[in-house]
Amino acid sequence: MVSAPPTPYEEYIRVDELLALHSPRTDAPGEDLFIAVHQVSELWLATLLRETGDARRMLLEEDTEGAARRLRTAVDVLGQLTGTLNVLCGMLPTEFARFRTELGTASAAQSPQFARVIKACRGPGPSLWDAFAALAEGQGGLVKIYDAVGGGPREVAELLVDLDDAFGAWMSAHWRLVSRQIGAAMGTAGQSAALLRERMEARLFPALLDVRPEFHRAEEVPAP
């Protein structure tokens, strides 16, 4: 029997090639899910890099409206990363144990795209933060930005906080997944759960939180 030619959809999306990349090494239940979740996560990380890169370029051109749109998409993508990750909560730790040795020393901690996302956001080097900081500087600083009514830079500042929160939510979901799957056992890349937990707290744009007390000074109630 001659198989049907691929539809224009299959050709455009490259469905066959995509599915061919999905090849679990064992028939242990959960490994297919484990690989799919990581592969999907890498695709989302690539999207995140494009969106944050575009947002940075737009900030350098002082196009705050364009940057805000890209940042909204980036926040949504991080939500997808969290949702995708949570699918793995359905895998039993005993199922994971059946194929975990296949990983060897492989760990998503080695994901170059993950490292690139962090660098693209907070540096060192050219980053979303340095582009925003330059814009804020040109407007008299962070406090001034928040004083401006309906200002584009303030909208961008709050979206950067949203992005930071969405990133933290992803890392926190990851921590919870790790806890329920392996508890305090050592990771395949040799890192301890404690180290992972410590890094989970790291912020992408700490200066945006550091400035918050400034907004409340005027409202401090004098002692009676």
Sites of contact with ligand HEM (CB under 6 A) = 37-38, 41, 85, 88, 96, 107-109, 111, 114, 174, 177-178, 181-182, 187-191, 196, 199
Q: How far is the CB of 12 from ligand HEM (least distance, A)?
A: 26
Distance CA 155, CA 135 (A): 13
Tokens of 45: 């990380």
DSSP state of 66: H
Tokens of 179: 């806890």
C-beta closer to ligand HEM: residue 78 or 136: 78
Q: Count the alpha carbons within 13 Å of 80 in the hemisphere toward its beta carbon.
A: 18
Q: How far is the CB of 125 from ligand HEM (least distance, A)?
A: 18
Among all residues, whose Cβ is closest to ligand HEM? Answer: 187
Nearest to 53 by CA among 170, 105, 114, 131: 131
C-beta closer to ligand HEM: residue 134 or 189: 189
C-beta closer to ligand HEM: residue 92 or 134: 92
C-beta closer to ligand HEM: residue 134 or 185: 185
**Three-class SS state of 160:** helix
Q: How far is the CB of 147 from ligand HEM (least distance, A)?
A: 35
Decide if 132 contacts 157 (C-beta within 8 A): yes
Q: How far is the CB of 178 from ligand HEM (least distance, A)?
A: 4
